[in-house]
Structure 1
Amino acid sequence: MKGKLYIVATPIGNLEDITLRALKTLKEVDVIACEDTRVTRKLLSKYDIEKPLVSYHEHNEQQKARELISLLESGKNIAVVSDSGTPGISDPGYRIVTLASQKGIEVIPVPGPCAAIAALSVSGLPTARFAFFGFLPKSAKKRKEFLESIREYPETLVFYESPNRILETLKDIIEVLGDRNISISRELTKVFEESLKGKASCVLETLRQRQSIKGEITVVVEGKHHEETDLGQEVERELKECREKGLSLKEAVQTVSKELGISKNLVYRKALTVWQKQSRA
């Protein structure tokens, strides 16, 4: 008889956030697959749980997934945990779930903490529809390209970012998405937990004044509003008028940006489209 695979959510900071069902599952399985055995051992020690641990992280996930599947097929029950939060959500886990499903092995979720959901719940931004993107690209160029690809999304946007890149990412958000309302949650459930809310420019200015920024960060950004579409149409109309008056692209961008009080970068992107269309006409 095949064993069962349990996907167990663990605390994202405060060890008391683990569920009773998660503790019961961890006590009863035969093996626990985890990212960092030191981190998981700390959690297990707090609740007097002793189980064999298998290291299962992004660098050995493919190989270990096959080994764990063999154990499951031999009848062993296995729990997969990450260092914090829910396995598979920007953490190792999906490969073994996929393999287990293909092999007819039962996969059981044991839900609990997730930084993305926790941050979204306190953001004050719409929660009926949202899109989660994990970590943004590290490269500035790729990050801007990615943000451009989701600029039209009406859903609330959620992603993770490191404290080392958060200032640059906020600048990119303002440049590409505009100065939207955002919420940044840092050190969730820990002693120095903090959520900063407001326009992206205001949050950026607050963080710029700090000597250092610590802790993993969850960024929540409001989606694109219909009013923004209307504004885009207004920008396009103004740019066309400027072109008809004989203004250069640069002059038109400066004029429209000043008249409408919006970012030159946003106007410039629209101007490129207008100029290209007019050139082909």
Structure 2
Amino acid sequence: MTAKQRYFIELAYDGTNYHGWQVQQNAESVQEVLNKALATILRQPVETTGCGRTDTGVHAREFFAHFDVEPYNPLSTGGGEINNHEPSVIDYGLKIRSLNSILPPDIAIKNIIPVHVCAHARFDATLRSYQYHIHFNKDPFLRGYSWQLRDVPDIDLMNQAAAIMMEYIDFSCFSKSNTQVKTNNCKISRAVWERTEQGMVFHISADRFLRNMVRAIVGTLMMVGKQEIAPEAVRQIIESKNRSNAGTSVPACGLYLTEVKYTYL
């Protein structure tokens, strides 16, 4: 029997109307909607595996998932048996347009890429990057896409605290409780706040992230920015490995997954 062909699919989505990426029993998710669309276009059951999970209301400017299809060429216009030649760019374009035509406006397919059968969208990712957006003046066009604050926090103090975080690898204090992971270790390679025309944006990159980690980090840095704690207090919070010592999770609306890197893409 010929092995199934594995594909990576690149997409972007507005998470406002979804209960996160992952399939839920009693709520609509991005993964559920994508699986149904792929099954319709490819005319066979399709189960995707995402590069991670995003919480309810979190957005993704770049997200990857992989899926397997039967050993015929489902991404070509004519079907038929798989041969040694990859489908043409035109064929991929047709399938992408077909998917986008049946998907809701808040989910967009960017690319479909044939990969090795062992390639894995989650485990093979070498870097993930997020942004968290904050604005200060009331703006109806930012509602649902940025967190509005009344008072402006001290960005210099927050950047001092963010730099301290990069000295550590165990981020148990920022992890949602009762998560099934083997380790809470992550290697943060970037953590910095930048001013924008509307407010400020937090940029953070790491090899992996724990559940709710970015929102908990931003909540903790807000405590620093409001001068409720000193930047150096972040050391004690991280070393305690206790979630209750860190700041509260900030609203999901300002969080975006912006980049996922692989060595072979």
TM-score higher than 0.5: no
Q: Which has the higher contact order (CA 8 A, sep 6+)?
A: 2
TM superposition score normalised by structure 1: 0.26
- Structure in which a larger fraction of residues adopt strand: 2
Greater percentage in helix = 1
**TM-score, normalization: structure 2?**
0.27
